[in-house]
Amino acid sequence: MSDVISKIWKTDDGKKRSFKDLKLSLEKIENEFRLLQVLNETIINQKDESPEMDRALRDSYLIHFRRIYNFFYSKDSDGNTIKAEDFFETGDKWKSKRFKETKITKEIEKLANEVILSYSYGDDAIIRGIRKEDFKDAVDEISKSFQLFIELNLPVEIPEETIQESDSQEEKPARGKEEKVTEKEYGGNTISYKTTLLENENLEVQVLHANKNVRKLIDNHKEDPKYFSDNIEKFEDHQQVARKWLAEVVKDNKTYFEENRVIFVMK
């Protein structure tokens, strides 16, 4: 699963998209693209040259190619259709970065549209007449947009009114010092940890205690914060104060640990 999605924001038409909705949508697109790749490879390497099997594979390819094409280029879509631009704060952000449609992708999409919407005279011959290399070239071209989409980081601010709609109900840590908000402290009279939500929406956890074993444990797993949310029961009722308060930090900020968006700072 890509880590592209990490926030909640509004689309151009004002609809709110939650982390959960977009995460599920991205998984659908990734699965759809993998299916298109499998169909492409099967067409290229098929040994069963029966007309029925060949036509079935080509029809399936065209259906799934059109879905991916529409996702990137917003053709024939409505409010219930997943679009690449939904993952950005404005549709223009994606449109300004995506690769332009190439001749081969336009041709394959046009054929897919004709085949899916209706049968017309001679369409079977047209479909059977497409070179296998053209199918491959179309997938190669649209793969560029797919990879770009996955790699792009989305610098989106969370609208204040949507913060409460987060999938997680844990208490949010204080935002960064630039907002002059006190950082949250853990440890009672003897502070063990401080947390700050950074501008990039990562969570900074300052480790302030001197317990060598716990500091070593954190240092060993600082690149994999999810370890702590997966093993929280090991810390919750521990006699060591440093471990007990670590459990409180993890519980209050579970989403950040599960998504590996935690930065440990050893003080």
Summarised one tens digit per residue, pLDDT across range 215-238 is 999 998 998 999 998 888 888 877
Give the CA radius of gyration of the chain: 25
Number of neighbouring beta carbons within 10 Å of residue 146: 21
Residue 136 included in any domain: yes
User: Who contacts 184 (Cβ-Cβ below 8 Å, separation ≥6)?
Assistant: 171, 173, 174, 194, 195, 196, 252
Supply the range of the domain harboring residue 200.
168-266
**110/236 same-domain check:** no
> Are 162 and 8 a contacting pair, CB within 8 Å?
yes
pLDDT lower than 70: segments of the chain: 1-21, 48, 75-80, 89-90, 117-129, 153-183
User: Who contacts 26 (Cβ-Cβ below 8 Å, separation ≥6)?
Assistant: 1, 2, 4, 5, 87
User: Who contacts 64 (Cβ-Cβ below 8 Å, separation ≥6)?
Assistant: 32, 35, 36, 39
Q: What is the pLDDT of residue 87?
A: 75
**143/178 same-domain check:** no
User: Of 134, 161, 188, at which residue does a domain stop?
Assistant: 161
DSSP 14: S
**100/223 same-domain check:** no
pTM for the complete prediction?
0.50
